[in-house]
Amino acid sequence: MSSLTTKNVRIAGVAACVPKTIEENIDLPFYDSKEEIVKIIESTGIKRHRIVEDGTTASDLSVKAVERMVSDLGWEIGSVDLLLYVCTSRDYYQPMTSPIIQDRLGMRQDSFVMDLPLGCAGWVYGMSVATSLMCQGTLKRGLLVCAETNTQSHSLKDRTSRPLFGDAATVTALEFDEGYDTPMNYVFGVDGSGAGAIMAEYGGFRNPVTPESLVEREIEPGVIRKGNDIVVNGMDVFSFAIRRPPRSLKELIEKFGIDTEKTDYLFLHQANRYIDDRIRKSLKFPEEKTPFCLDDFGNVSGASIPLTMVTRAADGLRGDDKHCLACGFGVGLSWASMEFTAGHLVVSELVEY
């Protein structure tokens, strides 16, 4: 088990942007009867999700989220030293997307910007990188942007994935504070032998894009995909998700001597309601302290934890300090858990674009 502790960095605010277009799962055309899709909605907990319009990218949503966050904090964009962009839905194969966002926002040219092409565990991993870079105090203000436009990387003609995934962008504002000695604690894990459980087979150098890989093929009734569409092996992911994340959280709790009776929130990657309930129950954690937003937004990959904070825990996080646990898990297969304190935050109203 690898672990990490960082200090002297506090969360200043959280914001999120989602597309305006809402797709209701009950209206999807793939299913033989309403009863079939109702069962899927009940088992996943996902009623609807947001979909970007053609021509809109994850970076477009990200810029809107950052602009709202910076405005609500009263920061000048020139005061931001660091921007990490956690996203696999990049604008281009090259260059990185973070320099494009830096230019669009008008950030300084001597800012530290970097892409982290992480998936579902991306917010926790991103927080570990950002706070590690900032804890020495040479970088005073940072923005951790977690975004994904899943509907552009998954086939919209695939009944196994279309009800599950949505699009969103979030930003977590961080600030160095020498007097803030409350630690953020992390544990990490990865099992690359399971990398094929969530994978786009074509599009990298191992399997470059070919004309054949761009042809839609019917895999089975209701499942039409191209070779560069992401495929999710549901059973492999389910088996992983009910084993590794709860073990990770228990390792975090044991490693850092955490009293869960004093924990105010457990934020889980919004993968599937049944999976998340299994994780919550394995920790004997109360339902009322485990907020969910996947019913309205679906699985938005690394953006899911901060989106939950914005849409389901805003009032609590605007108040006194709250002791929080978080766990992200998925593509890789990777997982990470963290302990942090958040309070008196600027939590922006949800932006629609």
- Between strands 322-330 and 334-342, the pairing is antiparallel
Nearest to 299 by CA among 200, 85, 151, 197: 151
Q: What pLDDT does 30 receive?
A: 83
What span, in angstroms and rounded, lies between the C-alpha atoms of 218 and 103? 42
Q: What pLDDT does 237 receive?
A: 87
Q: What pLDDT does 229 receive?
A: 83
Residues of the chain with pLDDT > 90: what percent? 78
Q: What pLDDT does 230 receive?
A: 87
Task: Tell me the per-residue pLDDT of 292-313, one tens digit each, with 9 for 90 and over.
Answer: 999 999 999 999 999 999 999 9
What span, in angstroms and rounded, lies between the C-alpha atoms of 184 and 158? 39
Predicted model pTM: 0.95
Q: Is the pLDDT of residue 111 over 80?
A: yes
Q: What pLDDT does 224 receive?
A: 85
Task: Tell me the per-residue pLDDT of 175-219, one tens digit each, with 9 for 90 and over.
Answer: 999 999 999 999 999 999 888 888 888 888 898 988 888 888 888
Q: What pLDDT does 226 receive?
A: 86
Q: What pLDDT does 155 receive?
A: 82
Contact yes or no for 320/312 (Cβ under 8 A): no
In the chain the domains, ranked by start, together with CATH numbers, are 1-353 (3.40.47.10)
User: Could you tell me the pLDDT band of residue 238, with boundaries at 50, 70 and 90?
Assistant: confident
Q: What pLDDT does 159 receive?
A: 84
